[in-house]
Amino acid sequence: MAGSVFRPVLSGARVAIVAPSGPFRPEKVEPARAALTARGIRAGPGPASAAPEDGFLAGPDERRLASVVDALGDPDVAALWAARGGYGATRIARLVPLLDVRAAGKPLVGYSDATALLARWFAAGVGALHGPLATSVGGALYGRSAAFDAAGRLVVRTGDGRRHVFDPATGERMRD
């Protein structure tokens, strides 16, 4: 595969916050939603993402898979953002149809357990960003924090104090 294409997410677009792994409370993604809304991007739980907590998962495998596949098929969704990691995405990643990922061409953002899905996106030739989970924006999670700076760049700080800056429209890492 020559490489992946990262389709920009422009003002007016919608980002689906999906739940392929662990459960999350809606207020935990509010800082991420508010940051995107401030940039003219609509954001909120994707189809099937408001799953009730099922122990350490955001619902059964079928429901978590549906949160990803339904967002891929939703013409109103321009990108997907994993709400949180933990465990569970590894159980559904191989079930996400590569043809659906390729046909949709929608970028995915996440890390931790969502890395299994990022690999699926790469296999389909579609851009993905190994970046913050929606629940980690505006706060610290596992020693990392993420926020948007005054210039609209996504700034990720790691537990060792390193700072990484990304252009949210392209996913490209920028110089600070």
DSSP-assigned letters across all residues of 104-173:
H---EEE-GGGHHHHHHHHHHTB-EEE---GGGBTSEETTEEEEE-TTS-EEEE-TTS-EEEE-TTT--E
Side-chain-side CA neighbours of 4 within 13 Å: the count stands at 24
Q: What is the mean pLDDT of residues 28-56?
A: 75
pTM for this prediction: 0.77
Does residue 68 sit within a domain? yes
Residue 153 lies in a domain: no
What per-residue confidence (pLDDT) applies to 46? 65
Tokens representing residue 151 in the block: 């210039």
Task: Please report the pLDDT score of residue 161 as a whole number.
Answer: 67
Q: What is the pLDDT of residues 56-102, one digit of tens each?
A: 888 899 989 999 999 999 999 999 999 988 889 999 999 999 999 99
Per the structure, the count of domains in the chain is 1
3-state DSSP assignment of residue 94: helix
If one counts every other C-beta atom within 10 angstroms of the C-beta of residue 174, the result is 13
pLDDT at 176: 62
Does position 173 have pLDDT exceeding 90, yes or no? no
Q: For residue 42, is it within any domain?
A: yes
Task: Return the pLDDT at 51.
Answer: 47
Q: What CATH code is carried by the domain that includes residue 22?
A: 3.40.50.10740
Percentage of the chain exceeding pLDDT 90: 35
Whose tokens are 């929606």? That residue is: 134
Q: Is residue 127 part of a domain?
A: yes
Determine, yes or no, domain membership for 155.
no
pLDDT band at 147, cuts 50/70/90? low
Strand, helix or coil for residue 18 = strand
Kindly report which listed range (22-36, 73-87, 103-117) carries the lowest average pLDDT score. 22-36
pLDDT of residue 5 exceeding 90: no
Q: What is the mean pLDDT of residues 44-59?
A: 66
| pLDDT, the chain, mean | 80
φ, ψ of residue 31 in degrees (nearest 5): -60, -35
Q: Would you say residue 116 lies in a domain?
A: yes
In a domain, 81, yes or no: yes
pLDDT of residue 30: 87
Name the residue range of residue 122's domain: 14-136
59 domain-assigned: yes
